[in-house]
Amino acid sequence: MIRVSNLVKDHGPARILDGVSVTFGKGQVVGIVGPSGSGKSTLLRCINGLEQFQAGEVAVGDTITLTGSPTPPPKTTLLRLRRAVGMVFQQFNLFPHMTALGNIMSGPVYALGKARAEAEAIARRLLDRVGLADRAAAKPAQLSGGQQQRVAIARALAVNPAAILFDEPTSALDPKMSAEVMRVIDDLANDEQVQTTMVIVSHDIRPLLRIADVMVVLERGQVIYSGTVNDAPPGYLE
């Protein structure tokens, strides 16, 4: 479970997030929507510790708490938080010097210290899971955008996080590739064995409505709705 309480994030004189409080339950699929500039991506980056925030709190489970402060947070807290909360980026951010397999292995090997053989077994299983078992040796430059994003999802899953944050995972893709990626996310959401919380920021509303359990609507850095998809204000779901 991820609990965000009264989170405040300033960027210079501008307030990006203004007292955001929201809770994501274990295994839930959460969609975050809102107009451009409402602070959706910034919220994800704060939850993952990629952005420092000035006040409030992010708690993951009962043991990891990141508190807002003008000074940088403790390194050990950041490390524990990031190992518990994975992230998938809009621009994929695959490591171009590694193969697809190497990218997925990088987390288990370099972050968790697993043996290469064990990491490779995990990586091959996940590649299969995202439908790219035959592209293990391909470098990112040899993959389509959709394939790259699927590798990025597998890479995030490889460290077995409690939650994965998807920051506009399909906005850099054409509709066909977007559909491929959303299908993978959908599969994960419907897999009962996967207990990972998935928080998805996307402008691609339609598939989001289909797979999300909960919708959060942000506007001007504030949560204006948090609840079921059916009750969400319709103006934000078009």
List contacts with other proteins (CB under 8 A).
Answer: 48-50, 75, 79, 82-83, 86-87, 89, 91, 93-99, 101-102, 105-107, 110-112, 120, 123, 136-142, 155-156, 159
Which amino acid is it at 130?
V
Please give the helix or strand (H or E) that residue 83 lies within, else none.
helix 75-84
What does the alpha-carbon distance between residue 13 and residue 235 come to, in Å, rounded to a whole number?
30
By beta-carbon proximity to other proteins, the closer residue of 85 and 217 is 85
- Cα dist. 194→5, 29, 79, 134, 179 in Å? 26, 11, 23, 23, 21
Helix%, strand%, coil% for the chain, nearest 5: 40, 25, 35
Q: Which CB sits closer to other proteins, 124 or 220?
A: 124
Nearer of residues 75 and 176 to other proteins, judged by Cβ: 75
| Residue 216: CB minimum distance to other proteins, A | 21
CB closer to other proteins, 199 vs 232: 199
Least distance CB 51 / other proteins (angstroms): 10
The sign one gets for the Cα dihedral 172, 178, 184, 188 is positive
Q: Which amino acid is at 6?
A: N
Strands 29-33 and 197-201: parallel
**Nearest distance, CB of residue 144 and other proteins, angstroms:** 14
**Cβ pair 229, 215 in contact under 8 A:** yes
CB of 41 to other proteins, least distance (A): 12
Least distance in angstroms from the C-beta of 157 to other proteins: 11
Give per-residue burial for 58-89: e unless 16+ CB within 10 Å, then b. Answer: bbbeeebbbebeeeebeeeebebbbbbbbbbb
Place of tokens 């204000």: 233
Give the phi and the psi of residue 234 in degrees, each rounded to 5. -60, -25
Min dist CB 229 to other proteins, Å, is 27
Q: What's the closest the beta carbon of residue 126 comes to other proteins, in angstroms?
A: 13
Nearer to other proteins, 85 or 215 (CB): 85
Nearer to other proteins, 149 or 226 (CB): 149
Closer CB to other proteins, residue 166 or residue 207?
A: 166
